[in-house]
Amino acid sequence: MKLIITQSIMVMVILMILILLLNMVSKKSFKDREKTSPFECGFDPKNLARLPFSLQFFLIAIIFIIFDVELTLLLPIILIMKFSNMMNMTMSFIAFILILIFGLLHEKNQGSLNWAF
């Protein structure tokens, strides 16, 4: 136990030294108006450089990613069922599905799934 603590302290010290060293050596970027503005033939741009986007599309994309990751967690359950206790597996599966359903109901109650403009 003492060896593990000693090694983890040594790793933390080495990491802190590397972080400090890299921050001192790294190239600093100074932001000014010319560098942050979009270039349009030397003239001021007519339109905004960053156009606003619909937050609903972003929320739907995040929900899609979450459920996609959850599906990748559900697929190996079929293979694990052969090797594990069926009662424990069933309870874990039901708990996971309930968490998914509660998350979906929460998103519905927040209005993230409404597409009315």
- Please choose, from the candidates 53, 33, 55, 57, the residue with its C-alpha nearest in 3D space to the C-alpha of residue 45: 33
Q: Is residue 43 part of a domain?
A: no
**Per-residue confidence of the chain (117 residues) as pLDDT tens digits?**
889 999 999 999 999 999 999 888 876 666 666 666 666 566 666 666 566 777 777 777 887 888 788 888 888 877 887 788 888 888 888 998 898 889 888 888 887 777 665
Looking at residue 1, its pLDDT comes to: 84
Q: Is residue 76 part of a domain?
A: yes
* Cβ–Cβ < 8 Å for 114, 70: no
Q: Is residue 61 part of a domain?
A: yes
Q: Is residue 44 part of a domain?
A: no
* Cβ–Cβ < 8 Å for 77, 93: yes
Looking at residue 34, its pLDDT comes to: 62
Looking at residue 80, its pLDDT comes to: 80
Amino acid at 57: F
Residue 58 belongs to what domain range? 54-117
Q: Is residue 115 part of a domain?
A: yes
Q: How many domains does the chain have?
A: 1
Amino acid at 11: V
Q: Is residue 92 part of a domain?
A: yes
> What are 107's two structure tokens?
């998103």
Rounded CA-CA distance 84/72 in Å is: 19
Q: Is residue 110 part of a domain?
A: yes
* Cβ–Cβ < 8 Å for 81, 93: no
Rounded CA-CA distance 64/58 in Å is: 10
Rounded CA-CA distance 86/97 in Å is: 16
- Predicted TM-score (pTM) of the model is 0.44
Q: Is residue 30 part of a domain?
A: no
